[in-house]
Structure 1
Amino acid sequence: PLTTEETMTRAGIGVDDTRGVARKTTTTVAMDFGRISINDELVLYLFGTPGQERFWFLWRGLFEGALGAVVLLDTRRLEISFDVIGRLEERGVPFVVAVNSFPGAPDHPMEELRQALDLPPSVPILVCDARRRDSSRDVLLTLMRYLHSQAATPEAM
Structure 2
Amino acid sequence: MDSADNSAPDGRYLAPTVDQALKILVVGSFGVGKTTLVGSVSEIDPLRTEETITQASTGVDDLSGLSGKTATTVAMDFGRITLNSRMVLYLFGTPGQRRFWDLWEGLVIGSIGLLVVIDTRRIEDSFEILDQLDVRSLPFAVAINQFPDSVRYEEADLREALDLLPETPLVHIDARSHHSSTQALITLVEYAARIKAQEKVA
Q: Which has the higher contact order (CA 8 A, sep 6+)?
A: 2
Write the mapping of 1:43-82 to structure 2, written as runs, cut at 5 A: 43-82=88-127
Write the mapping of 1:3-152 to structure 2, written as runs, cut at 5 A: 3-19=48-64, 21-30=65-74, 31-38=76-83, 42-152=87-197
Change (3 A) 1:49 1:139: same
* Distance in 2 (alpha carbons) for counterparts of 1:38 and 1:122: 23
Matched length: 156
CA RMSD of aligned residues (A): 2.1
Amino acid at match of 2:134: E
* Distance in 1 (alpha carbons) for counterparts of 2:60 and 2:197: 43
**SS of the residue 1:108 aligns to:** coil
Give the TM-score normalised by structure 2: 0.70
Report the CA distance between 1:25 and its aligned residue: 3.0
Report the CA distance between 1:128 and its aligned residue: 0.3
* 1:18-41 CA distance string (max 9 Å, x none): 23x152432313310012234675
Is the CA contact (8 Å cut-off) linking 2:52 and 2:72 kept in structure 1?
A: no
Quick check: which one's helix share is greater?
1
Amino acid at match of 1:122: E
Amino acid at match of 1:100: N
Structure 1 segments of 4 or more deviating over 3 A? 1-7, 37-42, 154-157
Q: Percent identity?
A: 47
Structure 1: any 5+ residue segments left out of the alignment?
none
Structure 1 range deviating more: 145-154 or 24-33:
24-33
Report the CA distance between 1:4 and its aligned residue: 4.1
* Distance in 2 (alpha carbons) for counterparts of 1:69 and 1:87: 11
Structure 2: any 5+ residue segments left out of the alignment?
1-44
Report the CA distance between 1:73 and its aligned residue: 0.4
Give the TM-score normalised by structure 1: 0.88
* 1:82-126 CA distance string (max 9 Å, x none): 111111121101100000012111222111111111000010001
